[in-house]
Structure 1
Amino acid sequence: MIRQLFLLLLFFFTIAKITAQDSKQPILSTASKQVSTFTIDAPQLQTTKKIWMYLPENYATSKNKFSVIYMHDAQNLFDAKTSYSGEWNVDEKLDSLKAQVIVVGIEHGNEKRMDELTPFKNEKYGGGKADNYLEFIVKTLKPHIDNNYRTKTKKKNTIIMGSSLGGLTSYYAILKYPTVFGKAGVFSPSFWFTKDIYTLTENSKKIKPKIYFLCGDTESDDMVSDVNKMEYLLNSNRCYCLNLNEKKIIKGGQHNEKLWRDGFVKAISWLGY
């Protein structure tokens, strides 16, 4: 069922995009004044990427350094004008908390989104180019952010977070780059896309990053069981004396921005920044 849901989301994304373009009444931007954007070359992806930056309100007046959250699908994080299915309200939530953290949102590649956010190829749907995408983050984007902003650069201060395919690739990121990303927010992960992600978990050395899992119990027939399976494999590869996992299964939660928006603050509060 989740496969059909995934295809429906792609369909609605396309329709919503066309509708927004044809609409006579423009959608106003809802991004806070703490949000800005820039573009950067992404040689690993042979393209340029638009990046959304959230800076704390006191960034300009302080000399502090800040932890960084790297998030996927930036179009849906801050602004109703660019979101096709509702936004996460990341900026408003962080503003209200006066959170001392920087958020770096990476726009997805539209028709290339599936390629960028999947670590292994699916026999039916293709994909499998997350290695290039993560290499862009680690070797191009993160050095740029660290060189141009006051950031705490250690892994304990570097979080990666996303939902659906973004949840899948966020989880993959901590396996592939455990010395870069010390924490991950894994929302409604599309573990169904590839069984190889389970095999990689089983074969990885001790997995030390902190992980916050979130999903709804009405997302699909296999979402909860997939997350439970991954949690079991993960705990088999951890030191049980450490509290490195948190899992929230939301009753009635659906595969949408509302679920992820409502779970954002609890996730970053537990992960710590």
Structure 2
Amino acid sequence: MQSISGNVPGNVPGFYCFTMTKKIIFCAFWLLSQNFLLFAQVKINVFTGKIPALKSASERLFLAGDFNGWNPGDKAWELINTDGEKYALSKELRAGIYHFKITRGSWSTVECDASGKQIDNRLLKLSTDTTVTLDVAGWQDNFTPAEKKHTATAQVHVISEKFDMPQLGRQRRVWIYLPAGYEAAKKKYPVIYMHDGQNLFDEYTSGYGEWGIDELMDKVTAKNQCIIVGIDHGGDNRITEYDPYDSKYGKGRGDDYVQFLIKNLKPYVDTHYRTIKDAKHTTIAGSSMGGLISMYAAVKHPEVFGNAGIFSPALWIAPDLYKLVKETALSKSARFYFVCGDAESDSMVADMLKMADLVKLKGIKPQNAPVVVIKGALHNEKQWNGDWPGFYEWLMRK
């Protein structure tokens, strides 16, 4: 290439090629550097500081967080006793944001504050090799459990404590929210099917706070009301029941769970309650793993679920779901509402945006696949309670 200097009065095409070549090289380098940062592994050294005495010498300490599916007794995340009093763990993680707690092997023995109250998840931001020292104020099982009160409103009922799930060989409690005046009215209602039922309506049955769906729905005008069905999660089986694909946590039973909704629960609800049965008026919604299985159900069965509320979806555990969306001809009338917080994890926003973009590439109009990212919001029921009004307003805007 000829030498170029000054204002380059002559060979403009040559100068353009030279400049573009430099830009392409720079962009390629930038992309490689960003990918390196995104997937870079950093080392974390965890040590315990001050902790309450354990109940026996055989007890062990673990970290449970979004890096291991919140497994409270994951041996891969066990802290090793180093000198009889201190515990330590060294691991490598991808740079990013993580949330976690310390346990003694179960959620009944999780850490708490000095008065026995639950504490927020710990937050860890990793960008380089990091060493942290963790003090524990108390253990939950050292305190008398705080008295929990029922908070479900009069519109919430339990359909069954042991609803048969033949596809899974299990039984499950199923809740239903009926609009005020349902008994006296003759109208039919749209239906929303939701997961993690114990966390939707009642503080008494919730693990870490409730969505407060019933209180929110009690404020909705009569003409915009609907029926909401909540299905309890399966405890230790929650991850595999809400995942249609096999993972390190076990064989995916998500498709069996969705078949239960379609073949057993929905027919029961449609028979015993006044519902509008078509897909346009049937929604599936949930958060985290519930957001994942809601996305799968709506993509796989658009003839049943015409709308989906995708709250903070755990897409990281099921990358094959992207492939399913790419290979599926989505119904042009399908509707998806995507929402999450930007402080949930390092990949939450990017994963959700990737899925939303795929949906739009398949022909779904932007107004039928809105994306909402809440600044500073974390991965919890408090956030999803705040997200609900926006989702419901969009849902009713048909």
Task: Mark yes or no: TM-score above 0.5.
Answer: yes
CA contact (8 A) 1:211 1:271 kept: no
TM-score under structure 2 length normalisation: 0.64
Counterparts in 2 of 1:88-167, with a 5 A limit?
88-98=211-221, 99-122=224-247, 124-167=248-291
Counterpart contact for 2:312–2:379, Cα < 8 Å: yes
Cα distance 1:16–1:247, how it changes in 2: closer, same or farther (>3 A)?
farther
More displaced 10-residue stretch of structure 1: 98-107 or 64-73: 98-107
Contact 1:216 1:251 survives alignment (8 Å): yes
Query: What is the alpha-carbon distance in structure 2 between the residues aligned to residue 104 and residue 212 of structure 1?
Result: 19
Does residue 215 of structure 1 match 2:307? no
Deviates more, 1:262-271 or 1:242-251: 242-251
Q: Which of 162, 167, 170 is the matching residue for 2:294?
A: 170
Separation in structure 2 between the aligned mates of residue 206 and residue 36 of structure 1, nearest angstrom: 35
Alignment partner of 2:159 out of 38, 42, 67:
38
2:324 match: secondary structure:
helix
Higher share in strand: 2
Aligned partner of 2:307 in structure 1 is 183
Task: Give a deviation string over 1:128-172, Cα, whole Å, max 9, x none.
Answer: 111100000000000000000000001011000000000000000
- Within a 5 Å distance, the mapping from 1:188-267 to structure 2 comes to 188-208=312-332, 209-240=334-365, 243-267=367-391
The answer to whether 1:84 aligns with 2:207 is: yes
Structure 2 runs not aligned, ≥5 long: 1-40, 42-63, 73-100, 111-139
- Over residues 15-73 of structure 1, what are the superposed CA-to-partner deviations in whole Å (9 max), with x where a residue is unaligned? 259959x8454311000011011322111111112101100011011001000000000
The structure number with the bigger radius of gyration is 2
Count of equivalent residues: 269
* Conserved? CA contact 1:16–1:84, under 8 Å: no
Q: Take 2:69 and 2:322, find their aligned partners in 1: how far apart are those partners?
A: 25
Residue deviations 1:72-108 (CA, integer Å, cap 9, x gap): 0001000110111110000000001245110000000
Q: Following TM superposition, by how much is the alpha carbon of 1:186 offset from its aligned partner in structure 2, in angstroms?
A: 0.2
- 1:4 is displaced (CA, Å) by 3.9
Q: Is the 8 A contact 1:185 1:213 kept in 2?
A: yes
Do the aligned residues in 2 keep the contact of 1:50 with 1:107 (CA within 8 Å)? yes
Runs (5+) with no aligned partner, structure 1:
none
Q: Is the 8 A contact 2:341 2:374 kept in 1?
A: yes
**Paired residues of 1:119 and 1:169 also in contact (CA < 8 A):** yes
Higher helix share: 1
**How far apart are 1:177 and its partner, in Å?**
0.7
Counterpart of 2:66?
5
SS of the equivalent of 2:382 reads helix
Aligned-pair CA distance for 1:8 = 6.5
Q: 1: CA distance between counterparts of 2:70 and 2:380?
A: 9
Could you state the TM-score of these two structures normalised by the residue count of structure 1?
A: 0.92
Higher RCO (C-alpha under 8 Å, 6+ residues apart): 1
